[in-house]
Structure 1
């Protein structure tokens, strides 16, 4: 075989979708007493089951409504009150139809009308509407039939165009038979343009733009495997990065009506290629997505693009330390809290510390031997005034130690102080001030719990963990200093230990970052922690200690959550507009 000749490869069922030739369609038509399900009822149901172009079954029944049939409806359909007097009610007819249509694709002409009545009937009967896939021949015809062929897309018009053997006459079974012929005529035309599956047929009946439809080919080079996919433009610029357990299936959805996001439609119109990067495990795909977004900063991704912009609260190292907002963590012996997604959140957490602990808020550098002037906080008793010698370095160090422990270990002193302040405000009915301090406390505790968990993982030089896969075998991951260094899967029924050894030997070499930073982004560390803490994950090897202080900030989360839940529940009325003043 010539090296330029591609080998033929048989596609899998997942790649092919549901072939039209082997799909069972149930074509449904209803007659009703009116045009709206909330004010009208079904009087007749007709359905035809077809597969491979052949009729394999029919269903027909009159339905007795609870009220009379309007005269103009009787004139239109020929169905009278006398005809339905002995017919079954919808509670008996509907289950029979659903059983007849079970496992099929529902087809109707102007499907929203028929399906709307069937859904309403299910609700009235206390039944759940099955998750049928629905095709609308009217909607499909609008995209297939040219205007010079048919003046409209009514069933009668299309039945003449496709030479149906049944003339629509507003009786349910006859109209369903005519719809079958219309469906086959449409499928014959679409087969000539490469539509051979139900998924592709759904695409043609959808409201996708021609640009989206034409670019379905971009998904063909993407494998059916877990990994990361990248949409790129002509100039090679990465437009969007995503992840999926099945990349090709996920990428295909961007070219269908299921994709409703305007920015994604715009992105697809610009994209000229899709590249898939296969990953060994879903966790590796999640991590690779984060890294690629941070590295390439695709314009159509909204999250994770700028992890370097996070804010940190730093407890400075000087004779009289203070809190400072910084962008970077340095190896300088300081204590850090973060990262915060915005400066506002960082300032909220900092305010909680200042509320509970009287450390200075001024920015000048202080020396025990040289005093300055006191600020208004000293007059208010919110600072010990070390700037004028009001507090020695030893006494001030006690406040600093409370803050340092709150950052790195037990924030109990800070939490208790703020909770006491909140309770006092509530007793004096100063509820808005109490709520403000509660929000500050919640922001601080969550941030401290997050950074402590992250720092504990970042301190471990190597951690190997495994989780059993549903299909057999094990997902294996090597984590070094809070960064994913390797991922692999062992085959079903194979001893995983050789695969663990090989993965450890080939995993990425990682250098530690300044504490509490992991050797990756905070988002990556959180993804790793979520996976490690999922039930069923087993630790294989741990070099060093993976521990949290006791007690840690996480032990105070329940107290914070209870307070927020009480606040959320303390809304006596959702809407006061219905209340009338006393006369």
Structure 2
């Protein structure tokens, strides 16, 4: 398959590589198609193994009581891995545990990786499932040591042999090389192992040498989105500059798309990354506020961002990103609907407005049209741009759940403003009782407006809270 690789499997106390520990390691080294080394060992995790994990793996606390700790077996593992590609089924899992274990020893593990789950998808695209149990069933493979490290290594080795027989060794080799080339797209100075990034929803941050991020993005598949940046570096100048500067990557997982969008918008505005063009803080936002009196002059007043109060949205229209954009939009409406420039405040002076002189105003400025009728036509012309009044009596929450990760986030809103994202009752109580001032954000308004209308389709659950 590859000139030199080590097929490895770990058993652990759980699924979190930061908090859980390794209980067993098995590795088989292949060089030039021949097995040259085979090694396995139990590992004392330094913590208790739960009954669930004991039943799953068959590895008990008593079995590892006298086993060596990871620090004792770490040199032997490095020796086996030297110069080889680390191959594993769901390699991110195994690689993540090894990275954390070596990090605890203040050592760096630098090794190329290849995932046989991804390899199976390439070799057998007609099949939906590519977990080890599915592969064993598909190819009639059997073992009495499932969920033991060497037993699982032997199953993957057997499967690779079957794949070479069914599809040809050259095809297996080509697909394996394709996966490795995907890793080769990584920036040469990147310190963060991309395989550690989860394939779940969230926000990612690219950092260079300084403390401020170069770029912030979001995705429902973090690792794939990060890799797409690097794979596009040869085609897009901005992606090339990011790839040249990036040194490390941080990420924050969320329950789903809405949480990722909200977090991305907040972080971009707070940190102002140099390569983010959108979602930056808008200090020049403005909207038109319509006077309640049809006789008022002007009928519209431009309201700046600091004075945008959601409670007044029933008479506001926009929002615009600059004063020039607001005026330009209003002039277009006036021309299209024969509205009076004097009444709108777009033209000063007395008597007939210029639009009436050229036949584009119906004459409210000179008594030829009733102010009430002009006012009604203005409301109809602005209708598509009307800001929506908050449809609830108080605060609401949108519950977002990810069945794959089990994570649940509750996003709290009031008057179109995002107050908080909480995960427990204590945080919820703080969010509901907080008296902090609300700051209107155009991106959040548009995002929430869309998700409130499509909440059921997007799998969101609306929770309405009583007014305090």
Q: TM-score range by the shorter chain?
A: 0.5 to 0.7
Deviation at 1:240, TM superposition (A): 0.3
| Pairwise CA distance, 1:216 | 5.1
CA distance in structure 2 between the partners assigned to 1:25 and 1:283 by the alignment = 29
C-alpha displacement at 1:300, in angstroms? Answer: 1.1
Distance 2:428 2:122 in 1: 55
Instruction: Please point out which of 407, 421, 427 is paired with 1:487.
Output: 421
Residue 220 of structure 1, CA deviation: 7.0
Q: Distance in 2 between matches of 1:473 and 1:239?
A: 28
Cross-structure match for 1:284:
259
Query: 2:440 matched to which residue of 1?
Result: 520
Contact 1:462 1:480 survives alignment (8 Å): yes
Measure, in 1, the Cα distance between the counterparts of 2:374 and 2:230. 59
Find the aligned partners of 2:259 and 2:122 in 1 and give their Cα distance.
Answer: 43
1:347 corresponds in structure 2 to 328
Correspondence for 1:302: 277
CA distance in 2, matches of 1:269, 1:474: 36
1:203–1:213 contact (8 Å) kept in structure 2: no
- Structure 2 CA distance for partners of 1:54 and 1:306, relative to 1, 3 Å: closer
State the alpha-carbon separation in 2 of the partners of residues 222 and 364 from structure 1.
54
Cα drift, residue 265 of structure 1: 2.1
CA distance in 2, matches of 1:294, 1:273: 21
Q: Distance in 2 between matches of 1:379 and 1:23?
A: 74
Residue 167 (structure 2) aligns with = 101
Q: Name the residue aligned to 2:429.
A: 505
Q: Could you tell me which residue of structure 2 aligns to residue 235 of structure 1?
A: 210
Q: CA deviation at 1:295?
A: 2.5
Mapping 1:161-560, distance limit 5 Å: 198=179, 200-204=180-184, 208=185, 212-215=187-190, 217=192, 219=194, 226-248=201-223, 250-256=225-231, 260-315=235-290, 319-323=296-300, 327-328=304-305, 329-330=307-308, 335-340=315-320, 343=324, 347-348=328-329, 350-361=331-342, 363=345, 372-383=350-361, 390=367, 395-404=370-379, 407=382, 411=383, 445=384, 447-448=385-386, 451-452=387-388, 455-457=389-391, 460-467=393-400, 469-471=402-404, 475-488=409-422, 499=424, 501-507=425-431, 509=434, 519-532=439-452, 533-535=454-456, 536-543=459-466
- Residues 542/382 of structure 1: CA separation in 2 closer, same or farther (3 Å cut): farther
List runs of 5+ in structure 1 lacking aligned partners. 1-5, 28-49, 60-99, 109-132, 137-197, 412-444, 490-498, 514-518, 545-583
Shift of 1:227: 2.8
The alpha carbon displacement at 1:293 in A equals: 1.4
CA distance in 2: counterparts of 1:241 and 1:26, whole angstroms: 31
Distance 2:337 2:228 in 1: 52
The 1:259/1:316 distance shift into structure 2, 3 A limit, reads farther
Matched residue SS, 1:213: coil
Residues 191 and 247, structure 2, Cα contact 8 Å, conserved in 1: no
Distance 2:197 2:407 in 1: 25
Gap regions ≥5 residues in structure 2 = 1-17, 23-87, 96-112, 124-155
TM (norm. structure 2) is 0.54
Residues 9-61 of structure 1: CA deviation (Å, up to 9, x unaligned):
4597444474469967999xxxxxxxxxxxxxxxxxxxxxx9589854777xx
SS in 2 for 1:337: strand
Cα 1:56–1:324 change in 2 (3 A) is: same
* CA distance in structure 2 between the partners assigned to 1:54 and 1:537 by the alignment: 42
Q: CA RMSD in A?
A: 4.7
Give distance in 2, aligned partners of 1:273 and 1:345: 41
Q: Structure 1 CA distance, aligned partners of 2:275 and 2:411?
A: 30
Aligned length: 322
Deviations 1:465-488 (A, max 9, x none): 335543468553322221232334
**Distance between the aligned counterparts of 1:237 and 1:360, measured in 2?**
47
Superposed CA offset, 1:398-446 (max 9, x none): 4224434664xxx4xxxxxxxxxxxxxxxxxxxxxxxxxxxxxxxxx3x
Instruction: Give the TM-score of the pair, scaled to structure 1.
Output: 0.45
Within-5 A mapping of 1:15-26: 15=93, 16=95, 18-19=114-115
Q: 2:339–2:378: 8 Å Cα contact kept in structure 1? A: no
How far residue 241 of structure 1 moved from its aligned partner, in angstroms, is 0.4
CA distance in 2, matches of 1:242, 1:340: 24
SS of match in other structure, 1:275: strand
Residue 261 and residue 348 in structure 1: after superposition, are their counterparts in 2 closer, same or farther (change >3 A)?
same
Q: Which has the larger radius of gyration?
A: 1
1:74-108 deviations in Å (ceiling 9; x for gaps): xxxxxxxxxxxxxxxxxxxxxxxxxx439x96545
